[in-house]
Amino acid sequence: MRKHIRIFFLVILILGALSLGMANAASPAIHVLEVDGIIVPVVADFIDQGITEAEDRRAAAIVIQLNTPGGLLAPTERIVDRILEARVPVVVYVDRWAGSAGTFITLASHIAAMAPGSRIGAATPVAMGEEMPEEVKRKITEDVAARVRSIAEMRGRDPEQAELTVREGKSFTDREALEANLIDLRADSLEDLISQLDGMTVTIRREEIILNTEGYVLDEIEMTLIQRFLHAISDPNIALILLSIGSLGLILELYSPGTIFPGVIGAISLLLAFYSLAVLDAYWAGVILILLAFALFATEVFVTSGGLLTAGGLGSLIFGSLILFGGRAPGIHIDWWLIAVVAVIIGAFFIFVVQAVVRTQRRKQPTGQEGLIGMVAVARTRLNPKGTVFVHGELWEARLDGGEANPGEEVTVTDVKGLKLRVTKK
């Protein structure tokens, strides 16, 4: 009887597990990727991996929750191409801002949505910088305008309105973007978006697919720890901080060899800074000016210039910071207040701290017999008050100021008279 009961409950458990698995299998999976920040290579890798995972799992759709001021052209092109080639419906949901590069990513999606209060546009290319010839600027603008028109036409959106974001740098609110046929819908939240997706039709590789999101299962895909770290340091402000810390650390290590800690921190910071600068396609003229600034600061430590080297270093630091990412891409710039803070901190450090140490070390040190004053001597004979003491590796005749001292007692040198010392008890 007990055996039959155990079998009964086992069957119930198996049936329950199977029914739960079938229910989960029947529920459509919606994958969500959150992209917040500048579009850099690690973001392109993250989106590529997310779309690939959604394709492998045959997800009902993948939602890219987007908030970006813009980014670099190369990773943006990678993302756009990956979305256009995707075998799963890609939905881009702009919850705050899709500036510049974000505009291309949004327009490339199968379904584009925006949250109330969000904006899209301002996609004029500025990677060429203001110093580029007008003919080159015109060619680049024409190419980018043709690209955005092509994407818009492919997704059935208004190519003329899309082109305005490039040629005139026009931006659209969520309502304006919907009226201009740049997006497909507005949604108050992610849940509202997914509910509106139910029943919508998208075309993937010439095949129409009707989205089914009823009873969906949400699967949020996050960046790995390494990806989050690389994305965090791929920031212009962080790059400047790392470059400053790295340069300062190496200067301190060179100034005081063997300290180790400043050198290690400085070397690591410089390596991370160079990664960030390379990823963000920084102007190397700006990098050289910043490094020159720290070279001038270091020289001030050893050469008395009346502050001219420090002033030159501050000017080089500020000017280098301003042009480090100037005109590279929308959203890639260093905040002016950070430049001011770094300049003040570095300038104050070298003016007050380092100079104080240098003045101390440059102070004339007593040498010869004068250097004996203040040293501790050991009585070799009884001092009463005269006798012999041993100090600085030599035997000296000494006179004790008051009292007596037995052999082996310590006394302090107070004065030197020719070849005789005056000492006192400690």
Among 43-47, 128-132, 140-144, 275-279, top mean pLDDT goes to 43-47
pLDDT class of 358 with cuts at 50, 70, 90: low
Return d(Cα 248, Cα 250) in angstroms, integer: 6
Least confident window among 203-207, 310-314, 357-361, 362-366 = 362-366
Return d(Cα 314, Cα 323) in angstroms, integer: 14
Which pLDDT value is given to residue 355?
A: 62
Residue 200 sits at the vertex; the CA angle it makes with 194 and 201, to the nearest 5 degrees, is 135
Terminal CA-CA length for the chain:
99
On the 0-12 / 13-18 / 19+ scale of CB atoms within 10 A, 48 is: middle
Helix segments in 158-307, DSSP class H: 159-167, 174-179, 190-197, 225-233, 236-255, 261-279, 284-302
SS3 113: strand
State pLDDT tens for residues 360-373: 655 555 555 666 78
Which pLDDT value is given to residue 114?
A: 97
Does the structure show a pLDDT above 80 at 335?
A: yes
Backbone angles phi, psi at 257, to 5 degrees: -55, 140
Q: What does DSSP say about strands 376-379 and 410-417: parallel, antiparallel, or unpaired? A: antiparallel
Return d(Cα 254, Cα 297) in angstroms, integer: 13
State pLDDT tens for residues 150-191: 999 999 999 999 999 999 989 999 999 999 999 999 999 999
| Average pLDDT across the chain, whole number | 85
Return d(Cα 38, Cα 71) in angstroms, integer: 5
Superfamily assignment of 368-425 in CATH? Nucleic acid-binding proteins (2.40.50.140)
Which pLDDT value is given to residue 259?
A: 77
pLDDT class of 223 with cuts at 50, 70, 90: very high
The one-letter amino acid code at 128 reads M
Structural domain spans, the chain? 26-224, 235-362, 368-425
State pLDDT tens for residues 238-286: 999 999 999 988 888 877 777 788 889 999 999 999 999 999 888 889 9
Residue 105 CA, distance from chain mean position: 23
Structure tokens at 331: 């959203």
Which pLDDT value is given to residue 327?
A: 63
Q: What DSSP line would sit under 346-411, residue for residue?
A: HHHIIIIIIHHHHHHHHSPPP-GGGGGTT-EEEESS-BSSEEEEEETTEEEEEEESSS-B-TT-EE
Least confident window among 52-56, 303-307, 334-338 = 303-307
Residues 289-324: b if buried by 16+ CB within 10 A, e if exposed: bbbbbbebbbebbeeeeeeebbebbbebbbbbbebb
Q: Which of 49, 56, 52, 59 is nearest to 25 (CA)?
A: 59
Radius of gyration of the chain (CA): 36
Does the structure show a pLDDT above 50 at 23?
A: no
Which pLDDT value is given to residue 251?
A: 84
Return d(Cα 59, Cα 298) in angstroms, integer: 58
Superfamily assignment of 26-224 in CATH? 2-enoyl-CoA Hydratase; Chain A, domain 1 (3.90.226.10)
Backbone angles phi, psi at 90, to 5 degrees: -110, 125
Which pLDDT value is given to residue 67?
A: 96
The tokens 């190397």 sit on which residue?
A: 284
Question: What does the DSSP 8-state code read for residue 11?
Answer: H
Does the structure show a pLDDT above 60 at 200?
A: yes
State pLDDT tens for residues 280-303: 888 889 999 999 999 988 887 777
Which pLDDT value is given to residue 370?
A: 67
Does the structure show a pLDDT above 60 at 93?
A: yes
Q: What DSSP line would sit under 148-189, residue for residue?
A: HHHHHHHTT--HHHHHHHHHS--EEEHHHHHHTTS-SEE-SS
The answer to whether the 26-224 and 368-425 domains have the same CATH topology is no
pTM for the whole structure: 0.74
Return d(Cα 119, Cα 359) in angstroms, integer: 57
Question: What does the DSSP 8-state code read for residue 60?
Answer: S
State pLDDT tens for residues 386-406: 999 998 778 889 999 888 888
Return d(Cα 389, Cα 364) in angstroms, integer: 27
